[in-house]
Amino acid sequence: MLMHTTAINKEMEIIRLVAGDFSRHPLQVNGLLEADAEIIRWPGKNEEYLVLKTDGIHEEIKEKLYEDPYLIGWMAVTAPISDIAAVGAQPTGILLSVILPQEYDEKWLEQFKGGINEACSQYNIYVLGGDTNFGDHFSVSATVVAGIKSQRPLLRKGMKPGDHLYATAPLGLGNAYAYARFFDTSLKVNYQPVARLSESRLISKYATACMDSSDGLFPALALLADINEVGFNLDVPLQNLLEKQASMIYHNANLPAWMLMAGPHGEYELLFSVPREVGLDFEQAIKNEDWQPVYLGKITSGQQINFSSGAMQVQCSPATIPNLFYEANGNIQLYFELLMQQHKTWVQQ
């Protein structure tokens, strides 16, 4: 007899282990894991918030998913800015913590700084400061400082059964890029996501909750399911949600569509829920903007995810897919095998 119908999400388990028993600042709006960034009420001010986010690029460099120094610089800024967008804040600047190898290449460093610089001007922010250390491998972590004025912040928490789930754009680019890098270098995928800062202004007016897909669709849904005690009914077949290059990989590599959304390398789109009754207003408001949100499906009350991928219809626990990466202990080859095994199991059901 199963006591738990849903598996425990391993990523969240680690985060709770590392950060779970620190006491919270009395003015902090979000509980642990409840928002993409940290939101602190500004003392004495109504609807004014200080927003902060720290994000590191380590595994991506270690596993050589990112080798181009320009891309590393670009992503060091884009990753935390995407979280700032997800809470509906406007960024001011960034602090960098860099570990340089003892024998660093000055040209490499120039290109890294080029990526930092161009991302900063993309988001209209400045490098405010930083810290440089020496170590065995290059590594970078960044902290963004941002603010929210005269509007409520957007959390991961707040979605309700019946809400509609959207993404800012088609998905799968993060995994498509990783597949091309790790498994078939004859396939070329361009990867340089832009954090959805401008889109987030409109989203924060309508959405009940928001989270970026920096770790891919399924890891995000697992976290949202846990925090909101909800599930997801993805009405649209996953192959119809694929971004152009992801769709190319889907066809050329003959991968199941769901695998291109399995993470943990994502595409930095925003995933957000809109109450059914304001859906039309939202879609109307969007018409005046130069982007088109992608409807994914509905929030449900059972903590399960339903989706169709190719001819296959799947119902699973939200943690099933993201946990495979942790079961593989971060080994990418093994992870891919576990994904394939999971696919076979589902096909045979």
Q: Give how many residues touch a copy of itself by CB under 8 A.
A: 56
- Near a copy of itself by CB under 8 A: residue from 100, 203, 321, 324: 100
Q: Which of residues 21-80 bind a copy of itself (CB under 8 A)?
A: 21-25, 28, 37-38, 40, 50, 52-56, 58-59, 62
Between 90 and 306, name the residue whose CB sits nearer to a copy of itself.
Answer: 90
Exposure pattern of 249-283 as b/e (b: 16+ CB <10 Å)? bbeeeebbbbbbbbbbbbbbbbbbbbbeebeeebb
> CA 233, 239, 245: angle at the middle one, nearest 5?
130
Between 248 and 328, name the residue whose CB sits nearer to a copy of itself.
Answer: 328
> 7: closest CA among 226, 252, 188?
226
Q: Which of residues 170-199 bind a copy of itself (CB under 8 A)?
A: none
Between 2 and 22, name the residue whose CB sits nearer to a copy of itself.
Answer: 22
Q: Is 290 in the site for a copy of itself (CB under 8 A)?
A: no
Cβ atoms of 203 and 259 within 8 Å: the answer is no
CA distance 205 to 202: 5
Q: Which of residues 1-20 bind a copy of itself (CB under 8 A)?
A: 14-15, 17-19
- Shortest reach from residue 26's CB to a copy of itself, in Å: 8
Q: Is 129 in the site for a copy of itself (CB under 8 A)?
A: yes
Helix axes 320-327, 10-19, angle to 10 degrees: 70
Q: Is 131 in the site for a copy of itself (CB under 8 A)?
A: yes
Q: Is 330 in the site for a copy of itself (CB under 8 A)?
A: yes
Q: Which of residues 132-161 bind a copy of itself (CB under 8 A)?
A: 132-137, 139, 141, 143, 145
Q: Is 95 in the site for a copy of itself (CB under 8 A)?
A: yes
- Shortest reach from residue 175's CB to a copy of itself, in Å: 19
Q: Is 128 in the site for a copy of itself (CB under 8 A)?
A: yes
CA distance 75 to 53: 14
Q: Which residues pair with 264 in a beta bridge?
A: none
Q: Which residues pair with 270 in a beta bridge?
A: 212
Q: Is 334 in the site for a copy of itself (CB under 8 A)?
A: no
CB neighbour list of residue 40: distance below 8 Å, 6 or more residues apart = 25, 27, 28, 29, 49, 50, 51, 52
Q: Which stretch binds a copy of itself (CB under 8 A): 110-118, 233-241, 269-277, 290-298?
A: 110-118
> 207: closest CA among 231, 190, 224?
224
* Environment class of 218 (CB within 10 Å of its CB; exposed 0-12, middle 13-18, buried 19+): buried
> 349: closest CA among 322, 319, 320, 325?
320
- Shortest reach from residue 314's CB to a copy of itself, in Å: 29
Between 21 and 290, name the residue whose CB sits nearer to a copy of itself.
Answer: 21
The binding site for a copy of itself (CB under 8 A) comprises: 14-15, 17-19, 21-25, 28, 37-38, 40, 50, 52-56, 58-59, 62, 92-93, 95-100, 102, 106, 109, 113, 116-117, 120, 126-137, 139, 141, 143, 145, 329-330
